């Protein structure tokens, strides 16, 4: 298995979907079945290889980058094809291939208008390459390319297959279609952040000596104090801005509800489950190790923003009438917990952030799946018009209730560990950080969990419980079909498994996180 | 010998005179992890295959409770023959130096809870088969019911604080599912949500308390916490007050202490078996159990001893205020619900008075008679199809088994010798008086008076419930019938236990229970009665007897309607002698009527409008805030700025696009002119 | 060696080309004018290549490149013109404003 461990395994995981996209594009448009089977084959291969990575990965030294390679790529700027995974990126990589596989399975007979499975599948495959690549890249240029690669497919997914209802936007004269507004907002917002991120990367390149884009070398330099002072502050701010838009952190979150509401089901799922994690992952992978000193300066501010996001997101949820929009705002709150964990700069907090990312991926992914299927059945997402779903579609309602419970952080399910440990971490942040700020954050965050429970239970009451309204009486509704269950049941099992036995995640992350905290912050 | 036992021996050495021999309990304790696991696994089995079974899943639920009951009783007996201390765990995560574990603890405290949950659970599950017959979600009901019991067992078996939180919240979710079992009606859903959210608010305290302790001593294990307390860990001493207070706030939520008690009466929206199990063995006992688990933290002079004062005051307030409310309820389940609150107040008072044994003993006996009372009330409701006592009356003749068992339960609850309630209430009174003598001071003395008054109130409202329900003439519709045997047999079983459970701890005669829960093993300076205090026992008994006597006087004769009863008036002009110098009238109008009239109503009113009002107000306020935040700031503030930037860009493009004519030659001209300009510029500036 | 005469010739050719591109209306003539401009550039390449005695004869090589590219360009350009003529029965570029926003 030498070929597998010398970088081919990871490279195949990343680039097989791209090859698949090329194959799918070469097929005639009418051959839908073939396109489905080809893309399923490629994502399945990608997922299978990432399971292989689980076996090949040496869990005794999770802090080491494994199974990677380091090849000359663009010698003129010293950028190299440097890939590899450690305990932090491993769960994210597996999550990414896993969700992609489920997205393709779900898509089998759920096509948003205007149909065209060939193009849709090709976009999913390109997206998969971007997501997987971001999690294995160890070179800033490579990372940036993958990071930006996800933009395009998602833009088209929202823009072409999105919600066609017209909406009026404050500040604009004409009404526009939701999908157009949302896709452009998503694209521009992210690009806006990315520009600053790229500037930050370039600044690091020119400050480093010898000039390099290699994350590991830069981290070594950063920990020796090369990037400090005003320079460091500006670079941290620029890079952080790029990631913060993607997370999204308050107050840069406003693209998210629109994008989620407008996106087709699979788009929402991938957006929530993986794309948001690119931001938090980037902060853990790049910002913290390369600019540790600045991270400590900014940490209290990040914590404050995170807590605002938690409360703000929950309150905004309470005001929503649109099911998908509510779930979208809940992401703001949950990612607030992830950012709170990161901002503590402790092993507990960062571990919490990673398990929070994975948990949010599977839970919110599932929520969007179910919400998408429901709006497909009812042709509306207005919660005031829904009700009695448990009567009309018991299986789907049951899964929705289960997932909502997981989302509100029920212990024994995946969502609990991220929230609980983020709070645990913020009780005792890294030495030198303001105890007052972080302990207040802990209390406010804990109160946020009450609000979270509130809006989710309220949502369940409106959507699932009670008697079905007149509007739906006498109509036949098809409960969850085989493909939907095939996509959802694995997520339900994952939620349960991570909740009962969190070592599934911590077993991989802990060593790497402890190493990161020790080398970067001496903690 | 496990580490738990070692740490407990630290205490044993101080007061070695009573220290019993400890054993690890052998195989019985090693396999005790099955106790929470069997119900949880069977819960999944019921969900997935329950509907295909002959009894639609009930048999699996019943088996799980039978298993727990048998196992629990076996452990109970083994423990009575020699103290068991065993703790097992598996690591589920390791973060830096912090370890998270699943485990199970087998010691006096948890064994008592296993036995209670198992035995009461078995009775309630059996009964529920009859009660829920024909329900639209029969199978689902037993699935969530099994989850409820299993979650409680996860909580009880927890050897560390994190698992405790897990069980704690699972209990909350199961209660949400059960209270909202008939979710077609949104009132039930509202009650379920209210229970969940009220608990969740209190859970904030629990989680913060757990975090404080866990981070401070670097471990979540109870045994490590006890060891830190025994070693007077300086870090823990610093945070002990806040940790203790926060944990107590958590306990206040689950055990429905004032002012968190509002959820419990509303929780009556669930099916009656749920109320029975929730109030007897699971859920509401969790808070008392937590106080028992963390008892040394509160009892040790160096630690959270100040919190004890708060605990005893909160307990006394709960016991008194909610007892009064029970007097004006018409819904029989609500009478019992407020009575549960009042009894929980007793347990909390006991814990606050440093009476570990008394608090747990009352939990133990209360589980049997309150479980019984709810089941009997359910049997009545099943027959009458109404919760209201104004629709009942005279049921003694129609439902003899229910009547006799309800009567035994009521007398036990009222604390009538020699039934279970007498012994446990006496133990509490005795412990409070010991506390008053040992530094509890004025507060404990006042609480002692309140507790005796509470005994009076308890007897009073139970007498009222018995008379209104079973005496007089039947006022409901149709012909009530005795419930089927599957419902009456559990009643009889629980009635027997309610009668004899008190004999487990008779001060001065036989004090087995004190040993069984480890009060003498973990010598931690708690108060427990070693000899009967005739004065206090007499006072308690007298208060109860007075309550029953006055209750009988008031409600034995059958009045027309509930309204007539509550506006009971004595004619003013009556011969003085015939009215016994109006002393009775004074009691009746001055004390009784004022008590059950304005005061109780005022408290009921304040309960409904002030406390519930705060809860609703917070909800409405959150909604209002949400509108401001979303509508005002998000949509019109931040988003406006974003959209304005986009609009400006668009407008600029709108103007500039007229330069794009599409004529190739115009472009070429521009190109050429530009080149010339560049060249000229280059020549000039270079 | 003197290059002036070549440069003058190239400049003249280039100017004629620019004139044609900017003024003529017929698409074919515009294309021919573009070719004239390319030819002028080629003359310069070859002239400078010879003048500088470059060992790699880069000038001459580039001239060959330009000729190849020009051939391709004219091929596509003429094809487009033919298509436009078929669709609109006219090759007058004043009437073509398809590039307009």
Report chain B residues whose CB lies below 8 A from the CB of C36.
none
C29 to chain B, any CB pair closer than 8 A? The answer is no
Within 13 Å, how many C-alpha atoms sit on residue A252's CB side? 24
Of B166, B212, B636, the CB nearest to A170: B636
Provide DSSP, B527-554. ---SS--HHHHHHHHHHHHHHHHHHHHH
Residue B70: the pLDDT is: 94
- Can you tell me the mean pLDDT for B155-176? 92
Distance CA B251, CA C40 (A): 93
C93 vs B298, more confident: B298
Residue B174: the pLDDT is: 92
**Minimal-distance CA residue of chain B relative to C24:** B665
B647/A172 CB distance under 8 A: yes
| Per-residue pLDDT band at C39 (split at 50, 70, 90) | very high
- Give the DSSP letter of residue A286: I
CB atoms closer than 10 angstroms to residue A225: 11
Each residue of A47-57: pLDDT tens digit? Answer: 999 999 999 89
For chains B and A, tell me whether 3 or more CB atom pairs sit within 8 A of each other.
yes
Distance CA A30, CA A46 (A): 26
CA distance B220 to chain A (A): 12
H helix or E strand, kind and range, residue B673: helix B664-685
Distance CA A45, CA A55 (A): 15
> Chains near C, with 3+ CB pairs < 8 A?
B
Residue among B115, B100, B244, B212 nearest B162 (CA): B100
C16 to chain B, any CB pair closer than 8 A? The answer is no
Over 90: is that where the pLDDT of A124 sits?
A: yes
CB atoms closer than 10 angstroms to residue C19: 12
Residue B513: the pLDDT is: 81
- Mapped onto helix, strand or coil, the DSSP state of residue B18 is coil
Phi, psi (rounded to 5 degrees) for A54 = -55, -40
Axis-axis angle for helices A117-136, A9-26 (nearest 10):
160
B483 vs A202, more confident: A202
Each residue of A217-263: pLDDT tens digit? Answer: 999 998 888 888 889 999 999 999 999 999 888 778 878 888 898 89
H helix or E strand, kind and range, residue C33: helix C27-52
- Can you tell me the mean pLDDT for A301-309? 92
- Mapped onto helix, strand or coil, the DSSP state of residue B357 is helix
CA distance A84 to chain B (A): 23
- Give the DSSP letter of residue B100: E
- Can you tell me the mean pLDDT for B374-402? 85
Provide DSSP, A429-462. -STTS-HHHHHHHHHHHHHHHHHHHHHHHHHHHH
Over 70: is that where the pLDDT of B431 sits?
A: yes
Residue B609: the pLDDT is: 57
Residue B598: the pLDDT is: 59
Residue B65: the pLDDT is: 93
- Can you tell me the mean pLDDT for B473-496? 84
- Can you tell me the mean pLDDT for B512-516? 79
Residue B578: the pLDDT is: 35
Considering chain A, what is the average pLDDT of its residues?
89
For residue A208, whether the previous peptide bond is cis, meaning omega lies within 30 degrees of 0, is no
Report chain B residues whose CB lies below 8 A from the CB of C30.
664-665
Contacts of A94 (CB under 8 A, 6+ apart): A50, A51, A53, A54
What percent of chain B has pLDDT above 70? Answer: 86
| Per-residue pLDDT band at B592 (split at 50, 70, 90) | very low
Identify from C15, C21, C25, C27 which residue to disrupt to test chain B contact, counting B C-beta atoms within 10 A and taking the largest count. Answer: C21
Buried b or exposed e, range B179-201, using 16+ CB within 10 angstroms = bbbbbeebebbebbbbbbbbbbb
CA distance B37 to chain A (A): 12
Residue B560: the pLDDT is: 45
Of C93, C98, C101, the CB nearest to B665: C93
Contacts of B99 (CB under 8 A, 6+ apart): B91, B93, B219
Report chain B residues whose CB lies below 8 A from the CB of A412.
166, 169-170
Cα end-to-end span (Å), chain B: 93
> Chains near A, with 3+ CB pairs < 8 A?
B
- Can you tell me the mean pLDDT for B281-306? 86
- In chain C, what is the greatest distance between 2 CA atoms, to the nearest angstrom? 53
CB atoms closer than 10 angstroms to residue A161: 24
Over 80: is that where the pLDDT of A425 sits?
A: yes
The total number of residues written for chain A in this structure: 523
Residue among A446, A289, A294, A261 nearest A368 (CA): A261
- Can you tell me the mean pLDDT for A366-395? 88
For chains C and B, tell me whether 3 or more CB atom pairs sit within 8 A of each other.
yes
Residue B602: the pLDDT is: 53
Strands B22-23 and B83-84: parallel
CA distance C60 to chain B (A): 26
Residue B519: the pLDDT is: 60
Report chain B residues whose CB lies below 8 A from the CB of C23.
665
Distance CA B21, CA B640 (A): 74
Residue B73: the pLDDT is: 92
Contacts of B675 (CB under 8 A, 6+ apart): none
CB atoms closer than 10 angstroms to residue B265: 26
Residue A522: the pLDDT is: 79
A301 vs B640, more confident: A301
Over 50: is that where the pLDDT of B18 sits?
A: no
CB atoms closer than 10 angstroms to residue B367: 29
Q: How far is CA B587 from CA A435, B414, B552, B594, in A?
A: 59, 20, 14, 9
Residue A371: the pLDDT is: 93
Each residue of B316-364: pLDDT tens digit? Answer: 988 887 887 777 777 888 888 889 989 999 999 998 888 888 888 999 9
Write out B102-125 in H/E/C secondary structure: EEEEECHHHHHHHHHHHHHHHHHH
- Can you tell me the mean pLDDT for B238-251? 92
Identify from C30, C37, C84, C97 which residue to disrupt to test chain B contact, counting B C-beta atoms within 10 A and taking the largest count. Answer: C97
Distance CA B225, CA B227 (A): 5
- Can you tell me the mean pLDDT for B90-108? 87
For residue B506, what are its two tokens? 């008779």
B663 to chain C, any CB pair closer than 8 A? The answer is yes
Contact in structure between B374 and B280 (CB atoms under 8 Å): yes
B662 to chain C, any CB pair closer than 8 A? The answer is yes
| Per-residue pLDDT band at A443 (split at 50, 70, 90) | very high
Report chain A residues whose CB lies below 8 A from the CB of B169.
410-412, 416
**Of the ranges B205-219, B498-512, B661-675, the best mean pLDDT one:** B205-219
On whether the pTM is more than 0.90, the answer is: no
Contact in structure between A512 and A57 (CB atoms under 8 Å): no
Strands A66-74 and A79-85: antiparallel
| Per-residue pLDDT band at B17 (split at 50, 70, 90) | very low
Residue B4: the pLDDT is: 41
Each residue of B518-555: pLDDT tens digit? Answer: 765 555 667 777 777 888 888 888 888 888 888 887 77
Contact in structure between A423 and B204 (CB atoms under 8 Å): no
Over 80: is that where the pLDDT of A265 sits?
A: yes
Strands B86-95 and B98-106: antiparallel
Over 50: is that where the pLDDT of B8 sits?
A: no
What percent of chain B has pLDDT above 90? Answer: 23
Residue A99: the pLDDT is: 94
Tell me how far the alpha carbon of residue A410 is from its chain's centroid: 21
H helix or E strand, kind and range, residue A176: strand A176-177
Of C22, C94, C97, the CB nearest to B672: C22
The answer to which of A270-274, B137-141, B254-258 has the lowest mean pLDDT is: B254-258
Contact in structure between A351 and A338 (CB atoms under 8 Å): no
* Look-up of token digits 């009660």: B131
Over 60: is that where the pLDDT of B615 sits?
A: no
Over 60: is that where the pLDDT of B7 sits?
A: no
H helix or E strand, kind and range, residue B93: strand B86-95
| Per-residue pLDDT band at A83 (split at 50, 70, 90) | very high
Distance CA A419, CA A350 (A): 12
Over 50: is that where the pLDDT of B603 sits?
A: no
Residue among B129, B7, B123 nearest B484 (CA): B129
- Can you tell me the mean pLDDT for B236-255? 91
Over 80: is that where the pLDDT of B175 sits?
A: yes
Each residue of B455-477: pLDDT tens digit? Answer: 988 998 888 888 888 887 777 77
Distance CA B6, CA C61 (A): 92
| Per-residue pLDDT band at B37 (split at 50, 70, 90) | very high
Over 90: is that where the pLDDT of A41 sits?
A: yes
Residue A523: the pLDDT is: 58
Distance CA B166, CA B160 (A): 10
In this prediction the ipTM stands at: 0.90
Residue B484: the pLDDT is: 84
C96 to chain B, any CB pair closer than 8 A? The answer is yes
């Amino acid at each position: 298995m030498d070929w597998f461990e010398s970088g081919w395994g990871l490279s195949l995981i990343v680039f097989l979907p791209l090859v698949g996209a090329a194959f799918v594009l070469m097929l005639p448009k009418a051959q839908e079945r073939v396109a489905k089977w080809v893309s399923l084959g490629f994502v399945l291969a990608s997922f299978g290889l990432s399971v292989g990575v689980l076996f090949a990965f040496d869990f005794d030294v999770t802090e080491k980058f494994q199974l990677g390679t380091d090849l000359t790529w663009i010698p003129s700027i010293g950028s190299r094809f440097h890939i590899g995974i450690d305990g932090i990126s491993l769960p994210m990589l597996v999550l990414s291939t896993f969700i992609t596989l489920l997205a393709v399975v779900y898509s089998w007979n759920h096509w948003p208008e205007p149909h065209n499975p060939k193009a849709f599948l090709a976009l999913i495959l390109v997206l998969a390459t971007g997501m997987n690549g971001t999690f294995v890249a160890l070179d800033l240029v490579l990372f940036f390319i993958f990071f930006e690669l996800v933009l395009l497919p998602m833009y088209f997914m929202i823009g072409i297959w999105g919600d066609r209802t017209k909406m009026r936007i404050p500040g604009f004269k004409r009404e526009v279609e939701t999908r157009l507004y949302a896709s452009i907002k998503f694209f521009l917002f992210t690009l806006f952040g990315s520009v600053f991120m790229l500037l930050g990367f370039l600044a690091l390149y020119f400050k480093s000596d010898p000039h390099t884009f290699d994350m590991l070398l830069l981290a070594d330099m950063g920990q020796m104090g090369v990037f400090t002072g005003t320079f460091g502050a500006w670079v941290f701010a620029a890079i952080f801005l790029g990631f913060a838009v993607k997370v999204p952190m308050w107050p840069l979150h406003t693209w998210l509800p629109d994008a989620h509401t407008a996106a087709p089901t699979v788009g929402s799922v991938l957006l929530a489950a993986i794309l948001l994690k690119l931001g938090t992952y980037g902060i853990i992978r790049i910002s913290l190790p390369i600019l540790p000193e600045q991270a400590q300066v900014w940490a209290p501010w990040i914590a404050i923003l995170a807590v605002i996001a938690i409360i703000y997101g929950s309150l905004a949820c309470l005001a929503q009438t649109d099911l998908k929009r509510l779930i979208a705002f809940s992401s703001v709150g949950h990612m607030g917990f992830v950012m709170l964990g990161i901002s503590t700069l402790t092993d507990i907090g960062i571990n919490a952030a990673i398990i929070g990312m994975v948990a949010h991926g599977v839970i919110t992914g599932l929520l969007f799946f179910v919400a998408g299927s429901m709006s497909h059945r009812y042709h509306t997402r207005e919660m005031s018009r829904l009700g009695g779903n448990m009567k009309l579609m018991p299986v789907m309602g049951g899964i929705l209730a289960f997932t909502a419970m997981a989302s509100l952080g029920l212990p024994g399910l995946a969502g609990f560990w991220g929230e609980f440990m983020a709070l645990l971490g913020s009780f005792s942040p890294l030495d030198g950080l303001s105890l007052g700020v972080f302990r207040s954050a802990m209390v406010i965050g804990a109160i946020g969990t009450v609000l979270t429970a509130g809006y989710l239970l309220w949502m369940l009451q409106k959507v699932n419980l009670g008697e079905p309204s007149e509007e739906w009486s006498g109509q036949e509704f098809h409960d969850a079909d085989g493909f939907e269950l095939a996509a959802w049941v694995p997520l339900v099992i994952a939620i349960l498994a991570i909740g009962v036995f969190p070592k599934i995640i911590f077993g991989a992350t802990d060593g790497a996180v402890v190493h990161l905290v020790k080398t970067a912050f001496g903690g | 010998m496990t580490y738990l036992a070692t740490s407990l021996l630290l205490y044993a050495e101080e007061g070695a005179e009573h220290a019993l021999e400890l054993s690890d309990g052998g195989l019985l304790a090693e396999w005790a992890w099955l106790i929470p696991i069997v119900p949880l696994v069977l819960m999944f089995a019921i969900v997935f295959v329950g509907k295909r079974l002959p009894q639609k899943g009930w048999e699996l639920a019943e088996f799980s409770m039978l298993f727990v009951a048998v196992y629990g009783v076996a452990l109970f007996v083994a423990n009575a023959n020699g103290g068991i201390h065993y703790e097992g765990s598996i690591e589920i995560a390791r973060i830096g130096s912090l370890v998270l574990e699943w485990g199970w603890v087998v010691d006096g405290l948890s064994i008592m809870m296993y036995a209670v949950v198992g035995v009461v659970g078995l009775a309630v599950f059996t009964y529920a088969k009859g009660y829920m017959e024909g329900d639209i979600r029969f199978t689902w009901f037993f699935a969530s019911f099994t989850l409820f019991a299993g979650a409680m067992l996860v909580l009880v078996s927890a050897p560390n604080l994190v698992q405790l939180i897990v069980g704690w919240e699972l209990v909350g979710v199961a209660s949400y599912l059960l209270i909202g079992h008939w979710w077609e009606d949104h009132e039930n859903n509202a009650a379920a949500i209210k229970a969940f959210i009220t608990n969740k608010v209190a859970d904030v305290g629990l989680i913060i308390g757990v975090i404080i302790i866990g981070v401070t001593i670097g471990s979540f294990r109870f045994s490590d916490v006890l060891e830190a307390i025994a070693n007077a860990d300086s870090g823990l001493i610093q945070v002990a007050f806040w940790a203790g207070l926060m944990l107590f706030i958590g306990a206040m939520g689950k055990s429905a202490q004032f002012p968190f008690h509002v959820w419990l009466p509303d929780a009556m929206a669930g099916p009656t078996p749920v109320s029975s199990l929730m109030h007897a063995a699971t859920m509401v006992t969790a808070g008392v159990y937590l106080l028992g688990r963390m008892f040394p933290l509160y009892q040790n002079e160096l630690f959270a001893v100040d919190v004890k004062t708060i605990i005893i005051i909160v307990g006394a307030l709960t016991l008194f205020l909610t007892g009064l409310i029970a007097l004006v309820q018409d819904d029989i389940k609500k009478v019992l619900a407020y009575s549960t609150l009042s009894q929980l107040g007793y347990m909390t008072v006991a814990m606050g008075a440093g009476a570990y044994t008394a608090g747990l003993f009352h939990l133990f006996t209360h589980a049997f008679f309150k479980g019984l009372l709810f089941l009997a009330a359910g049997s009545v409701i099943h027959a009458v199809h109404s919760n209201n006592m104004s629709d009942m009356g005279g049921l003694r003749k129609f439902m003899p088994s229910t009547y006799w068992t309800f009567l035994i339960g009521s007398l036990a609850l009222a604390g009538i010798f020699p039934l279970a309630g007498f012994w446990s209430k006496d133990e509490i009174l005795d412990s409070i008086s010991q506390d008053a003598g040992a530094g509890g001071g004025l507060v404990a003395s006042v609480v002692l008076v309140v507790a005796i008054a509470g005994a009076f109130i308890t007897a009073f409202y139970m007498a009222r419930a018995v008379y209104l329900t079973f005496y007089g003439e039947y006022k409901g519709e149709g012909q009530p019938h005795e419930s089927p045997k599957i419902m009456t047999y559990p009643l009889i079983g629980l009635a027997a236990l309610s009668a004899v459970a008190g004999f487990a701890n008779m001060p001065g005669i036989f004090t087995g229970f004190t040993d069984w829960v480890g009060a003498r093993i973990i010598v931690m300076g708690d108060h427990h009665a070693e000899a009967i205090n005739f004065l206090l026992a007499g006072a308690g008994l007298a208060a109860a007897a007075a309550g029953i006597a006055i209750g009988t006087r008031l409600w034995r004769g059958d009045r027309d309607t509930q309204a007539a009863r509550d506006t009971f008036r004595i004619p003013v002009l009556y011969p003085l002698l015939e009215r016994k110098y109006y002393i009775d009238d004074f009691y009746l109008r001055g004390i009784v009527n004022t008590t059950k009239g304005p005061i109780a109503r005022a408290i009921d009113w304040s309960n409904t409008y002030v406390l519930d009002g705060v809860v609703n107000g917070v909800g409405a306020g959150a909604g209002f805030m949400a509108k401001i935040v979303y509508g005002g700031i998000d949509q019109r503030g931040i988003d406006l700025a974003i959209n304005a930037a986009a609009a400006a860009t668009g407008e600029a493009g709108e103007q500039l696009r007229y330069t794009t004519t599409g004529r190739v030659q115009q472009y070429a001209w521009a190109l050429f002119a530009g080149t010339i300009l560049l060249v000229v510029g280059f020549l000039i500036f270079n | 060696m003197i290059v002036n005469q070549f440069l003058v010739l190239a400049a003249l050719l280039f100017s004629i080309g620019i004139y044609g591109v900017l003024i003529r209306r017929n698409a074919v003539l515009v294309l021919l004018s573009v070719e004239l401009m390319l030819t002028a550039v080629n003359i310069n390449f070859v002239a400078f290549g010879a003048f500088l005695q470059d060992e790699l004869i880069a000038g001459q090589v580039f001239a060959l490149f330009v000729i190849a590219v020009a051939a391709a360009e004219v091929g596509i350009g003429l094809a487009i013109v033919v298509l436009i003529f078929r669709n609109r029965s006219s090759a007058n570029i004043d009437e073509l404003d398809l590039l307009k926003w």
